[in-house]
Structure formats: C-alpha cells, structure tokens
Amino acid sequence: MDNTFDINKDYPFLMNRKQAAQFLGVDPVSFDKYIRANENLERFMIGRYERYTKKSLIKFIESQSI
C-alpha cells in the first residue's frame, strides 16, 4: 500500500467527510473526532450533509499548527 500523499490528486471541489479525511491523511473516525468537531473548520452544507473544500481544509490545518 502506498502511503505517500499527493496534493495534486484529483479531488472533487466539495469533498465529503471520507474524501476530506483521505485528503488530510487521517482515518474518518479521527477526522470526526479531532477535525470535524472543531467549530473553526469551514464547511458547506448541502441539505444536512457537510462538504469541505481543499482550501478550507488546508486553511484549518495551517491555523491549528503549533
């Protein structure tokens, strides 16, 4: 299994939680617990479903770096 991260990989403009977790290189459970639960993460709602952009995910991670 190749664990390398490719930021240029094609992701849809609006990613679901599984795609967002994959983009960040974490499992979906960790994404839910540590990232999605944070109110500072920008999200786009389609009905009751959350969607995330690459830009919002990168911005969030950069703002949370210590």
Report the alpha-carbon distance of residue 35 to residue 2 in Å, rounded.
24
pLDDT tens, 15-55?
Answer: 999 999 999 999 999 999 999 999 999 999 999 999 999 99
Report the alpha-carbon distance of residue 64 to residue 39 in Å, rounded.
12
pLDDT higher for 66 or 18? 18
pLDDT tens, 39-49?
Answer: 999 999 999 99
Q: pTM of the prediction?
A: 0.81
